[in-house]
Chain A
Amino acid sequence: MKNKVVKGLLVTAIAATAFAGCGAKKSSSVTEITYWNFPNFAGDKEFKKNEDYDAALIKAFEAKNPGIKVKYQKIEFSDGPAKIEAAIQSKTAPDVIYDAPGRVITWASKGHLVPLDHVDTSKLLESAVKASSYNGKLYMYPQGVAPFTMGVNKTLTDELGITNLLPLAKEGRNWTVEEYEKFLRAAKEKLAGKEDVSPTLFYTKSQAGDQGPRAFISNLFNSWITDKDVSKYTINDEGGVKALEWTKKAYDAGLLGKGIALEAKDAVEGFKSGKLVSTILFSPGLAKQVEKFEYKFLPFPNSSGKATYEYLVAGPAIFDNKDAKKIEAAKKFIDFMINDADWGKRTLLASGNFSAVKGVTGLYEGEELKFAETLSSQFGPYYNTIAGFSQMRPLWFNMVQGVLNGQQTAKEGLDSFVTNANKTIAEAK
């Protein structure tokens, strides 16, 4: 009997120790919020590492807001989206995330985010606000925008003696498909014997960086992936078919490299290492990685004489974790990140993007960034937020692969793509 009493006491003591702390409410008035960020802020002069910049930003915010503590987690572009998805499912999503509308609007459509009604959108670029909104409500506070362009290695074109074929002196640097083809043929001719360098790389292995090939095809004969209202896919129009037929011909002629099984990373690495004369995926962010040669931004060739750009929008969003105090604190944090007198501009510059505020220009030095900054007036309809976008992406690259491999004609491929892609809109609703 005595033994049993001792055992009982022992078990109770162990249980009490093990569960000590569980359920105890913190009496402190500090609100703790979690903040997850991809490596978005690599451009700061003082803090070269993304996490160092984020740490400095948080420190400055906490100094001004002693009642709020920000817990930071760095996530990578490779596995970050999966981590966020898992966190949403297990109800452990962060309070603040810095991302782009592609994912943010999907979360908003599922009711995971807090609408940012407190933000004055009248001062922001309409294209950025539209991209960051769902059902008329803003869900991401757009801080930066940047166009996706083409790029050329001018040092290499100078060496090859083909710089004169580039549209650098023309207004807006715009060029036609004929001019572009002439440039590619000249590059190929001059590169004869140099098997490790190609005029460009039209990659289409996966959805990574697939905005490059899509913008390329959409532009050639002035088509676009969706209609202006982003309500349906329209790339199977006459211009789209003509563009894909031209791409197939140019691919067969060896002008676009062999990129069916290669992806954006291969194109970026190839361009950075001087193995590609030009690239179909370039942006101010990628330009920062070019060190060995002089680069130039180039528009996509467009038969209309003026290119239309896909673009990046970046900014913070707030997850609805059902805690009013945390939501309030998160709103303060994102306002600090964007509007603080010191850290607002600094954060934007660290991201390498242009301002999403109307009329705020001239943030960067250098002719190329100044040129890229002028392109916001040529942004096309932002369709990354269309319902079922992520289901559409594999339909696209598989279709292009089928056409380039001769399994189907451009018309057949684009028709079936549009039919199926339109189905994904209905399926996602």
Chain B
Amino acid sequence: MKHKTKKKKIDYSGYIFILPILTFFSVFVLFPMLRGIQLSLYSFTKRDPIFVGFKHYADLLLKSNDATIHTPFMKSLFNTITITAIAVPIVVLISIFIAVTIYDKKPAVRSFFRGVFYIPAISSVVSITVVWAWIYHPQFGILNYVFKNIGLIKESVDWLGDPRTAIYAIIAILITTSIGQPIILYVAALGNVPKDLLEAAEIDGATPWQVFRKITWPLIRPTTLYIVVVTTINSFQIFALIQLLTAGGPNYATSTIMYLVYKAAIIDGRHGLASAMGMILAIIIAIISIVQFKVLNKGTE
């Protein structure tokens, strides 16, 4: 049997329309990525780069290579995953809770709360860390003052200096700066859930939880997918808070991969090592994002 295939006529003029973004993408995203892969195979300890193959990757990942970067890197990898694993579900839960609470309020009230929760997202991270540094200050911090007054603690706690509390102190700030965008997205998504579906379910005797679980949640799942992926990527790339508040300490308790990348590239001039770390981070983020797409994308178009 011979299929008679019609040759598709392609209108190449369409490519002209995507040319600007394609150029931008190629120059500022694709080329740096490829260059990053290339850099990760070189050592920059001398004036001219020296090809070292996969040495940086082995130094980072293999204990047997006995490189000083191995332990900090593994600790940072663990911290990065911990921060993401804790922050992402909390961000999703808090933002959905707030969105559900405010989306059917009067427009003025809704706007007020959206504004309040969005402020940390648009504020300069430097200003935010200055404020949080004072909140957490081991001697004059307001958190110790409040907690001591309500009897939660007896002695002042060095929130950022104690390895038992430091990472959670950072996660708390990360959450406050991350929930603004998801709240706005959820409020918009909730507004798009057809009212008649909700009313029909209520008439059929569904409890509010059942309404949320069986109708609202599936309908806002695409938004959740977007929020989970974006928050995961942001959490994986946490850097400024660490750099400004703890410098990765105490004893690497808050060190993250992005912080090590910054240190290796900018402070030490070890661009090859920094690129290798960046590549490993990119691969991890890509794998996690694919899994998230597969899991959360079921049943949605």
Contacts and interface: CB of A to CB of B under 8 A. Distances in A.
Interface of A: 81-82, 85, 88-89, 106, 110-112, 195-196, 198, 204-207, 257-263, 390-391, 394-395, 397-399, 401-402, 404-405, 407, 420, 423-424, 427-429
Contacts of B47: 110-112
B250 A260 contact: yes
Given A261-B158, A397-B247, 7 more contacts: A81-B266, A89-B269, A205-B249, A261-B250, A398-B250, A398-B251, A429-B45
Contacts, number: 99
Nearest to B253: A401
Given A206-B249, A261-B166, A399-B251, A390 B156 contact: no
Interface residues of B, number: 33
B162 interface: yes
Interface string B239-250: 000000111111
Contacts of A397: 247, 249
Contact of A401 (B159, B161, B245, B271): B161
9 contacts: A205-B247, A207-B247, A258-B156, A260-B160, A260-B162, A262-B161, A405-B161, A427-B67, A428-B45
B140 interface: yes
A308 to B, nearest CB: 27
Contact of A261 (B72, B246, B252, B266): B246
B147 to A, nearest CB: 15
B266 A89 contact: no
A51 B136 CA distance: 37
Nearest to B66: A423
Contacts of A111: 46-47
Contacts of A207: 247
A196 B140 CA distance: 7
A89 B271 contact: yes
Contacts of A257: 139
Nearest to B243: A206
Contacts of A85: 266, 269
Interface in B160-176: 160-163, 166
B248 A195 contact: no
A428 to B, nearest CB: 6
Contacts of B300: none
A13 to B, nearest CB: 24
Contacts of A395: 68
A420 B70 CA distance: 11
B68 A82 contact: no
Contacts of A205: 161, 246-247, 249
